[in-house]
């Protein structure tokens, strides 16, 4: 079984986000980059399926981004992925979710994967949009937000569970298909020392827009329908109004304030 995983490199969740002077980016100095946490679930699930199916199954991790993104691919290789594709081209910069999806889809199309896993959301752009677009471009069915995955015995479909507004769904989906992963799906493994050593010898193939047959005006900033104008600080909240008295007085005063001042209840 050929399994593909979309892996994005993002600033660590602990990063202090500060707006840069020109307000078109965050301050990038000293940022530690990691594999997007939801993509770790995706890598782990791919490895689990590979281990379950065995044979000549393989896991290919795919990332689009600047040179530093190779580190994220190396991390996924160290976890156990077999090979990596790095979509690396200055022309990709400044793109939006749609240009990113188009480039990723062009790369995946060359491989004819049986299964593709992605994260539910990138924790930097918070779009939750790329995988759904990739699925349409590849004409794959797509089930989002899965927190349980079971491959059918004949390996031609999968049963998944996901939480949606109002409840939980059990979905069966024919393969090939694309799934996005939610927390709870699995516990991503740590790379072992031997994993890290082995990863150094595994291939990372680089692809440019031209390699993927993508015209320059369809990728990156040139092709993006959504262009970042500027970053804005969050609106400030006024000072907290502390409420005095014993518990009963506090409760009474608060309810009054919520009714008469905030007019919220």
Ligand X SMILES: Nc1ncnc2c1ncn2[C@@H]1O[C@H](COP(=O)(O)O)[C@@H](O)[C@H]1O
Of 19-58, binders to ligand X (CB under 6 A) are 36, 38-39, 42
Binding partner selected for residue 33 from ligand X, other proteins, none, CB under the kind-specific 5 to 8 Å limit: none
Which of 31, 171, 196, 204 contacts other proteins by CB under 8 A?
Answer: 171
- 128 φψ region: left (φ > 0), alpha (ψ -120 to 50), beta (else): left
Cis peptide before 176 (omega within 30 of 0): yes
63 forms part of the interface with ligand X (CB under 6 A): yes
Burial state string for 45-78 with b = 16 or more CB within 10 A and e = fewer than 16: bbbbbbeeeeeebbbbbbbbbeeebbebbbbbbb
Applying CB under 6 A, the span of 45-53, 59-67, 187-195, 241-249 interacting with ligand X comes to 59-67
Q: Per-residue x/- marks for ligand X, 125-164, CB under 6 A?
A: x-xxxxx---------------------------------
Q: How far is the CB of 5 from ligand X (least distance, A)?
A: 7
Q: How far is the CB of 117 from ligand X (least distance, A)?
A: 8
Which of 137, 148, 196, 204 contacts other proteins by CB under 8 A?
Answer: 137
Q: How far is the CB of 154 from ligand X (least distance, A)?
A: 27
- Cα atoms found within 13 Å of the Cα of residue 71, Cβ hemisphere only: 11
* Helix (H) or strand (E) segment spanning residue 253: helix 247-256
Please report, as residue ranges, which positions from 202 to 261 form the binding site for ligand X (by CB under 6 A): none
Applying CB under 6 A, the span of 20-28, 44-52, 96-104, 223-231 interacting with ligand X comes to 96-104
Q: Which letter does DSSP use for residue 202 in this model?
A: S
242 forms part of the interface with other proteins (CB under 8 A): yes
CA–CA gap between residue 47 and residue 5 (Å, rounded): 10
Whether the CB-CB separation of 97 and 8 falls below 8 Å is answered with no
Q: How far is the CB of 200 from other proteins (least distance, A)?
A: 31
Applying CB under 8 A, the span of 47-55, 68-76, 199-207, 256-264 interacting with other proteins comes to 256-264
Within 10 A of 210 (CB to CB), how many other CB atoms are there?
Answer: 11
CA–CA gap between residue 109 and residue 212 (Å, rounded): 10
Which of 57, 97, 144, 186 contacts ligand X by CB under 6 A?
Answer: 97
- Cα atoms found within 13 Å of the Cα of residue 210, Cβ hemisphere only: 1
Which among 58, 21, 186, 34 has a CA at the least distance from the CA of 122?
34
Please report, as residue ranges, which positions from 212 to 241 form the binding site for other proteins (by CB under 8 A): 224-234, 237-238, 240-241
**Can you give the binding site for ligand X, defined by CB under 6 A?**
6-8, 36, 38-39, 42, 63-65, 97, 100, 104, 118-119, 121-122, 125, 127-131
């Amino acid at each position: 079984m050929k399994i593909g995983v979309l892996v994005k490199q993002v600033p660590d969740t602990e990063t202090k986000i500060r707006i840069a002077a020109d307000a078109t980016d965050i301050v990038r100095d000293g940022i530690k980059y990691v594999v997007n946490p939801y993509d770790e679930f995706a890598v782990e699930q791919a490895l689990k399926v590979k281990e379950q199916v065995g044979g000549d199954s393989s896991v290919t991790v795919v990332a689009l981004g600047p040179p530093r993104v190779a580190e994220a691919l190396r991390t996924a290789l160290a976890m156990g992925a077999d090979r990596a594709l790095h979509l690396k081209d200055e022309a990709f910069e400044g793109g939006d979710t749609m240009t990113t999806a188009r480039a990723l889809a062009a790369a995946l199309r060359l491989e004819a994967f049986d299964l593709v896993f992605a994260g539910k959301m990138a924790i930097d752009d918070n779009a939750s949009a790329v995988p759904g677009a990739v699925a349409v471009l590849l004409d794959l069915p797509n089930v989002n937000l899965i927190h349980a995955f079971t491959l059918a015995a004949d390996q031609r479909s999968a049963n998944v569970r996901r939480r949606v507004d109002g409840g939980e769904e059990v979905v069966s989906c024919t393969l090939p298909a694309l799934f996005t992963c939610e927390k709870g799906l699995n516990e991503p493994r740590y790379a072992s020392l031997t994993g890290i050593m082995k990863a150094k010898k595994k291939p990372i193939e680089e692809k440019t827009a031209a390699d993927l047959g993508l015209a320059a005006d369809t990728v990156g900033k040139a092709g993006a329908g959504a262009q970042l104008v500027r970053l804005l600080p969050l609106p400030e909240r006024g000072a907290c109004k502390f409420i005095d008295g014993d518990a009963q007085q506090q409760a009474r005063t608060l309810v009054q304030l919520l009714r008469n001042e905030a007019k919220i209840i």
